[in-house]
Structure 1
Amino acid sequence: MKQINIGGVPEHFNLAWYLGLKNGEYKDAGINLRWKDYFGGTGAMNKGLRDGDIDMAVILTEGIIKDIIAGNKSKIVQVFVESPLIWGIHVASKSDYNTIESLRSTKAAISRYGSGSHLMAYVNAKNNNWDLEKDLDFEVIKNLDGAVEGLTEGKADYFMWEKFTTKPLVDNGTFRRIGNCPSPWPCFVIAVREEFLKTNKEDVKTILDIVNATTSEFKDIPSIDRMIANRYEQELEDVQEWLSLTEWSQENISEATIKKVQDQLFDLNIIQEKWSYKNLVAEL
């Protein structure tokens, strides 16, 4: 049985993968799919793809496009979540900052350079007409636990992360959320290392077929809201709101979306050149 390694964030978006693994669907298809949680997010997954630690990743759209252009020899093979990611903008509960504008020229906590929390800080800055060179400063905190420590101890002033994942930290008084910043594109895609894809295309298609069968019916799974609430320690009403806002995809990313992401990243000076669709995306 062929072992294939895949990485993703340990968040509710990826429950469909867990269900398929739990039910033995990949093994039934002759694939030993091994899931690895990446608490450090997109930056850590990009490193995992580059180093060959994982063959596939469920990863933020903007993060993988930036890293492919920077030398990550991987390709996007499908959109996983079609809807935007809603990034909450968080400060420590006792912070003096109460508005997004008050955060201008302060320090943002980011998991690592090139991560979603890093790139979306630029999107938020542009949305608010900040000076991208003068009004942004960063403190690397690695993961969510690092953000709690960094904001509480004053090493950084604000932190952007998916708002439903951080909601329990808002509810318990660790963070205050002072605004939201939705990503302007589909949030998660599935990427595969080029070298692996060359010789394992049929296995990748099989994996996608299995997870797509789950996501296409995900919201109809009995008591799925309670399952998510229990597994990810979230309030039921928050999970129900998240489900109402989230749409999965079973299609590849469009040329229009690739153009939109690259145009934005280029305008923000995050990428220095734009690549053709075929150099970023693989058609299976």
Structure 2
Amino acid sequence: MALQQGWPTEDLQFQVNNDIRGLVNSVNDGSTSAFMWEWFTTKPFADAGSCRFIGQVPTPWPSWLIAAHPTRAAPSDICAFLNGLSGYVRTFASPEHGAGPSVAFIQQTFGYPEDDVKAWLQAVAYPDDCAEIPAHVITDTLAVLQKAGVVTAPQGEIDLGQYVDVSIAKLT
């Protein structure tokens, strides 16, 4: 957000509050000024008056990405996982599931009202193949993290193979 707003980023300080309840509590006790969290997860707290929604800041990267340590998981296991996950994601995101079973699952799991679940499902997009990563996701994320001082820019051209095992994932 600081980068998007043109604010200085050299002296940013963050307080770790662990989870959404910790964030809401810290704002209410004054130890945190504000927090950023996904809208539909925060909405029940805003609806209950525990916090107030003041705006939104779209991230320059997807909300979810799967990461695995290269020496702790066999490539074949990761491929099998991503293949299976892709099937589940396609089913979950399908129109017939989005109109019934997926809504019911989210309602039962998270306790969200049906209208909020339906609005959330209309606002999100899912990949057809969880093993595909658009190359711009890596380059855009690295650019933001470099500007924020979290990572150092590599010398020369970015080698995307340094960040993605192309024997497992497909850069698109």
TM-score clears 0.5: yes
The partner residue of 2:15 within 124, 135, 139 is: 139
* Structure 2 residue runs without a partner (length 5+): none
The partner residue of 1:232 within 96, 104, 110 is: 110
Partners of 1:216 and 1:228 lie apart in 2 by 16
Which is bigger in relative contact order (C-alpha 8 A, separation at least 6)? 1
* Between structures 1 and 2, the one with greater strand share: 1
The partner residue of 1:201 within 58, 75, 82 is: 75
**More divergent stretch after superposition (201-210 vs 235-244):** 201-210
SS at structure 1 position matched to 2:115? helix
1:279 corresponding residue in structure 2: 162
> Does 1:160 pair with 2:36?
yes
Partners of 1:137 and 1:279 lie apart in 2 by 29
Return the offset for 1:223.
Answer: 3.0
Return the offset for 1:195.
Answer: 0.5
Aligned length: 158
2:149 corresponding residue in structure 1: 269
Return the offset for 1:252.
Answer: 2.1
The partner residue of 1:242 within 98, 112, 120 is: 120
**RMSD, aligned CA:** 1.7
The partner residue of 1:218 within 85, 89, 92 is: 92
* Structure 1 residue runs without a partner (length 5+): 1-123
| 1:124-183 deviation digits (Å, cap 9, x = unpaired) | 11222222235x432221222221221111001101111111111111110101001111
Paired residues for 1:1-284 under 5 Å: 124-133=1-10, 136-197=12-73, 200-219=74-93, 220-221=96-97, 222-249=100-127, 250=129, 251-274=131-154, 276-283=159-166, 284=168
Taking only the aligned residue pairs, the percentage that are identical comes to: 26
Partners of 2:147 and 2:54 lie apart in 1 by 26
Partners of 1:132 and 1:173 lie apart in 2 by 31
Q: TM-score, normalised by structure 2?
A: 0.83
